[in-house]
């Protein structure tokens, strides 16, 4: 059984999609063992606790990136975590963290990367009059939203779209895409072990 941790900073709807998939047996031989937030007020924390998960707040405030990440890494290692899913986690990871879990950290981003990396990708899509956007799950490396792509899904941009309406339609697809991506990576992990 692979052991998954999810890192969040806010709402946590992708975290909930992953937990629901795991709890209804839709993840391939894996369980979610821990949800970590760097923000004490993240709404996702309550949603994780309601679903019976262990939650930890490891606050970024007052810690350097290296200190913060090393505290997260000890929590992951003491729970024997195999795979880490970033789900709206808003802090860039240190090189040491990425190195320690290379190929085992996933992120979801609401655009068709390499288009529109970084902040406000839905607004970037509208500002450039893109006809389609979408979402991407990728491995995390040292680049910003630039690691190897696992899977993507297109979402058409409508003429009357606002940032909000486009974000809602992309988010619906994110919730389906993330569990699929995790299953692809789990298949690889299970082949190796
Ligand atoms: C999602 O759009 C995700 O792609 C991006 O941040 C947002 C997080 O939303 N990285 P939620 O916290 O999962 O609801």
Q: Residue 184 has what pLDDT?
A: 98
In angstroms, how far is CA 47 from the centroid of its own chain?
16
Q: Is 80 a catalytic residue?
A: no
Our answer on whether the CB atom of 13 is closer than 6 Å to any ligand 1 atom is yes
Q: How far apart are CA 18 and CA 48, in angstroms?
A: 11
Q: Is the pTM of this model over 0.95?
A: yes
Element (H, E) at 143: none
Nearest to 108 by CA among 3, 4, 2, 7: 7
Q: Which parts of the chain sit beneath pLDDT 50?
A: none
Q: Residue 193 has what pLDDT?
A: 84
Q: For residue 35, how far is its CA from the centre of ligand 1 (angstroms)? A: 15
* Residues 13-44: tens digit of each pLDDT: 999 999 999 999 999 999 999 999 999 999 99
Q: How far apart are CA 138 and CA 148, in angstroms?
A: 6
């Amino acid at each position: 059984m692979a052991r998954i941790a999810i890192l969040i900073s806010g709402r946590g709807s992708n975290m909930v999609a992953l937990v629901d998939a795991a709890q209804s047996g839709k993840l391939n031989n894996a369980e979610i063992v821990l949800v970590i937030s760097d923000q004490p007020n993240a709404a996702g924390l309550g949603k994780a606790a309601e679903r019976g998960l262990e939650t930890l707040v490891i606050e970024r405030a007052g810690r350097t990136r290296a200190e913060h990440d090393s505290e997260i890494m000890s929590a992951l290692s003491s729970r024997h975590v195999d795979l880490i899913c970033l789900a709206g986690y808003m802090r860039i990871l240190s090189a040491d963290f990425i190195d320690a879990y290379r190929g085992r950290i996933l992120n979801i981003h609401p655009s068709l990367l390499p288009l529109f990396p970084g902040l406000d990708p839905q607004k970037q899509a509208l500002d450039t009059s893109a006809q389609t956007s979408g979402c991407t799950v990728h491995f995390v490396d040292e680049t910003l939203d630039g690691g190897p792509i696992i899977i993507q899904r297109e979402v058409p941009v409508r003429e009357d779209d606002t940032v909000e309406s486009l974000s809602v339609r992309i988010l619906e697809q994110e919730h389906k895409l993330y569990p699929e991506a995790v299953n692809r990576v789990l298949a690889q992990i299970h082949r190796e072990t």
